[in-house]
Amino acid sequence: MTTNIQLLRSSIAYKRPSSAPLLEGQAAINYNAAEPGLFFRLTDGRLSKIGPCAVTDNGLAPNAAPAGEVGNAVGETWLNAQVSLYSPVGYVFDGNEFVTANGFKVDVSTGDFTLMRTLTVQKLVVNELNVDGPAVIGGNITPNGQNCAYFLGKATERWDYAYLCNLDVSKDGLIGNDLTTNRDMIVGRDLTVGRRVPSNLIPDQGITRFLGNSSNQWAGVHTKDFWSYGNTSIGSNCASLLTVNATTTFKCPVTFENTLDINQIGSSCSNTLTIEATTTVKCPITFEGLITLPPTAIPNPIFSGDIILGDGCATSTIDLKGAVTLSCDMLPLSNNAQKIGASNKRLSSLFAVSLNATSLALSAKGTSAVTLDSDPDNTLITKKWTQDLIATSTGALSFWKRVGIEVSTTAANDDLVPNGANCNLGLAGKVWKTVNANSLALVAKGTSAVTIDSDPDNTLITKKWAEDKIGAASGSGLWTRSGSELSPLNSNDVLIPKGANGALGSAAKKWKAVYANDVYTGDLHLKNDKGDWTMIEAEEYLTIRNNKTGKTFKLMMEEV
């Protein structure tokens, strides 16, 4: 008799069995074609998968979207066949993640492989090779069976240095920068040099060679020393120019067939020109650099015409390192245009009998002859004259006088008045500490620091403090106002006089009405345009006196 045996099973895609209910050695199977598998429980309670290897083409690992038990089994395999990879890559789950089984790191977005270790191969055939670090090659680098077909580098990507023992170039060579050779260089064809050759150029022994020819000439020859062993021709006609920028020594007579025109002597300011003879210059001379005349160079130079030094105030400088004596006036080139000194370069001292200038700016203290009362009104004044005029101990010539630290007017009844409607006594940032006066009369509103409760009793009060103390609509003081009614802020407040003679109202200003539950008073005076009475209280009775007649009446009272 045949017995059918069925394992624990499921046909739900991506569903794995839970390891907890499985018995020891009991297998469970998922037979859905999407991701089949055979599973059993390990002794530590984890779930293990026997197989088969999961194959996906979407880049998702096995059990990425679990319908049952989550996670993967140690040793579980997966073949990733997503299209970004050149060929499928095998992975094994190590308990934490799926890792490649071949040791390479795989970038699934690009399909690139990375191996951070040494790779030893018998032969490596590649379409393109990129090396990010040093490459050590123990053999020849040979083009693939071709001659003069491939490049080492490109026009836009060049090697910095090539260290070679020998160089054999069978075609034209192009060197765009310096070429340094430590041994002889044999050139079998024409040599075209675009920059410089830092070594000797020696022709073959016994053979005459030319450096250029009549139709192909060098544009210029720069040499430290020039030796010519024979006839030497410089220039082709009188239009050619010979410039000598160094000391020239002629050991033989020199004959000039035409006028000698010297356009330049020396190559730089370090060269020296010495003239030991009387020199007459009949044309203007232009100096483009610094002119230094030592004391013995021109003992007594005589200039019969105008002298112009420099070509502009911004580019030229005249540095005089000795005393300058002027026998005539020194005038600016134009009116109100030139300056003596600058903001960052000032004269230490200027001594003059008179000075005519549009403006005078001194960064330090200046001096002059002491100012006198007889000087013109536009005279610059000195300190002593100012002290005498403004404030002295005697006040003989001034409006003011000083005694110790006190400055006062010379006359006893002088007034200090402003010279206009908008003058201030003090400034916002510089205020007088105290003003002592018999009276203070303000024609406009005055201000001061806000009054506070701790101020002395004789302090002038400000509006805010008066509102708070006397009464404001907000009720923040002792009184509160509601329309035309003024009442104490607190319901139980009592209004009492500050002294024994205080009065509520006056003879000229009386209250229209007094409303009270109880009135406690001494004598009661009743007076209007008809009568004038005073009610006087005795110990046992009340009397009323007619103030107009002086008669007094006793009120008859009956006990109740």
401-453 per-position pLDDT tens digit: 777 778 777 777 778 778 777 788 888 788 887 888 888 878 778 888 888 88
DSSP 386: H
DSSP 175: -
pLDDT for 198 equals 62
- Over 80: is that where the pLDDT of 328 sits? no
The lowest-confidence range among 62-71, 142-151, 332-341 is: 332-341
Is the separation of the CB atoms in 382 and 371 below 8 Å?
A: yes
User: Which pLDDT tens digit goes with each residue over 204-250?
Assistant: 666 677 777 777 787 777 777 777 777 777 777 777 777 777 777 77
- How would residue 141 be classed by pLDDT, with cut points 50, 70 and 90? confident
| Torsion over CA: 455, 457, 463, 467 (sign) | positive
- How would residue 314 be classed by pLDDT, with cut points 50, 70 and 90? low
Amino acid, res. 448: S
Cα dist from 467 to 461, 464, 479, whole Å: 10, 5, 9
Q: Which of residues 536 and 118 earns the better pLDDT score?
A: 536
Helix (H) or strand (E) holding 470: helix 463-470
Q: Are strands 542-546 and 552-554 parallel, antiparallel or unpaired?
A: antiparallel
| Mean pLDDT, rounded, of the chain | 78
- Over 80: is that where the pLDDT of 178 sits? no
| Across 100-114, average pLDDT | 81
Q: Is 374 left (phi over 0), alpha (psi -120 to 50) or beta?
A: alpha
Q: Is 478 left (phi over 0), alpha (psi -120 to 50) or beta?
A: alpha
User: Which pLDDT tens digit goes with each residue over 456-489?
Assistant: 988 888 887 777 766 555 545 667 777 777 777 6
Distance separating alpha carbons of residues 375 and 258, to the nearest angstrom:
72
Q: Which of residues 393 and 329 earns the better pLDDT score?
A: 329
Amino acid, res. 267: S
Count, residues in the chain? 560
| Across 281-287, average pLDDT | 69
pLDDT for 305 equals 63
Q: Which residues of 345-359 are buried (b: 16+ CB within 10 A; e: fewer)?
A: eeeeeeeeeeeeeee
Distance separating alpha carbons of residues 31 and 416, to the nearest angstrom:
117
User: Which pLDDT tens digit goes with each residue over 31-86?
Assistant: 998 899 999 999 898 999 988 888 999 989 999 999 888 999 888 999 999 988 88
Per residue, the 3-state secondary structure of 85-123, as one string, reads: CCCCEEEEECCCCEEECCCCEEECCCCEEECCCCCCCCC
Q: Which residues of 493-526 are buried (b: 16+ CB within 10 A; e: fewer)?
A: eeeeeeeeeeeeeeeeeeeeeeeeeeeeeeeeee
Which stretch, 11-15, 361-365, 412-416, has highest mean pLDDT?
Answer: 11-15
pLDDT for 164 equals 81
Distance separating alpha carbons of residues 239 and 255, to the nearest angstrom:
18
Domain boundaries, the chain: 8-114, 381-408, 460-496, 507-560
Q: Which of residues 413 and 302 earns the better pLDDT score?
A: 413
- How would residue 395 be classed by pLDDT, with cut points 50, 70 and 90? very low
Q: Which of residues 516 and 312 earns the better pLDDT score?
A: 516
Q: Which of residues 12 and 392 earns the better pLDDT score?
A: 12
User: Which pLDDT tens digit goes with each residue over 503-516?
Assistant: 778 878 888 788 88
| Across 531-547, average pLDDT | 89
- How would residue 391 be classed by pLDDT, with cut points 50, 70 and 90? low
| Across 520-536, average pLDDT | 85
- How would residue 316 be classed by pLDDT, with cut points 50, 70 and 90? low
- Over 70: is that where the pLDDT of 22 sits? yes
The burial class, CB within 10 Å (0-12 / 13-18 / 19+), for 481 is: middle
| Across 153-162, average pLDDT | 83
Helix (H, G, I), strand (E, B) or coil at 38: strand
- Over 50: is that where the pLDDT of 157 sits? yes
